[in-house]
Structure 1
Amino acid sequence: MAIAEATIFPVGTGSTSLSSYVAACEKVLQDETRIKYQLTPMGTILEGELDVILEIVRKMHEVPFENGAERVETYIKIDDRRDKKSTMSQKLNSVMEKLK
């Protein structure tokens, strides 16, 4: 099980506002049942099988092009732990327990 963060944004759109592009990328995830995901202010966290995550990020990468962008930058961070199951909530809970 992998956890990844993807940040996808168009470059040179003529506007500093990117929320319409973000919303269009998030629509790719709305009907996706193979992963869990969470939108954050700086990117989207995805949890699932690595091959599936990479497939979905590739689809999301194409969305700004489909909406008029001529250049898109995509950043991906991947935490692929194979010694035990790791989830978004488990990682957060681990930190919260240490804050007590």
Structure 2
Amino acid sequence: MAILEISVVPIGIEGSSLSSYVADCLRILKKENIRYELTAMGTNLEGNLKDLMRIALKMHEVPFKKGVPRVLTTLKIDDRRDKQGTLTGKKKAVQNKLN
């Protein structure tokens, strides 16, 4: 199982608010029924890497469908194959070291 962090930034829009674009991207995740966590600077997804890449492309297309001329999408992928990693597991590992 892979973990993917995605940030989709529309460029060339009026104003500085991105929340409507973020909401539209999250609607895709809800339809896909995938585990995700919204953060202040992006969204973390958990699942099969091929599925995550397909979903990331759908999210990247959201601003274009709203007429935005340019989109900057940043991805980070944690693809661990020696053991199964999860969003919860990564956070727990750090918390355990703090205790």
TM tier relative to shorter chain: over 0.9
Unaligned runs of 5+ in 1: none
Shift of 1:36: 1.0
Q: Take 1:70 and 1:52, find their aligned partners in 2: how far apart are those partners?
A: 26
User: Percent identity, aligned pairs only?
Assistant: 53
Residue identity matched to 1:11: I
Say whether 1:29 aligns with 2:29: yes
Q: What secondary structure is seen at the aligned counterpart in 1 of 2:32? A: coil
Runs (4+) of structure 1 exceeding 6 A deviation are none
Shift of 1:43: 0.4
Deviation digits for residues 22-67 of structure 1, max 9, x if unmatched?
111111111212x311111100100001000000000000010111
Q: Take 1:13 and 1:82, find their aligned partners in 2: how far apart are those partners?
A: 40
Q: Identify the residue that residue 59 of structure 1 maps to in structure 2.
A: 58
Q: Take 1:25 and 1:9, find their aligned partners in 2: how far apart are those partners?
A: 11
Q: What secondary structure is seen at the aligned counterpart in 1 of 2:93? A: helix
Q: Take 1:18 and 1:86, find their aligned partners in 2: how far apart are those partners?
A: 30
Q: Identify the residue that residue 91 of structure 1 maps to in structure 2.
A: 90
**Structure 2 counterparts to residues 65-80 of structure 1, below 5 A:** 65-80=64-79
TM-score normalised over the length of structure 1: 0.95
Q: Take 1:26 and 1:67, find their aligned partners in 2: how far apart are those partners?
A: 15
RMSD of aligned Cα (Å): 0.8
Provide the aligned length of Structure 1 versus Structure 2: 99
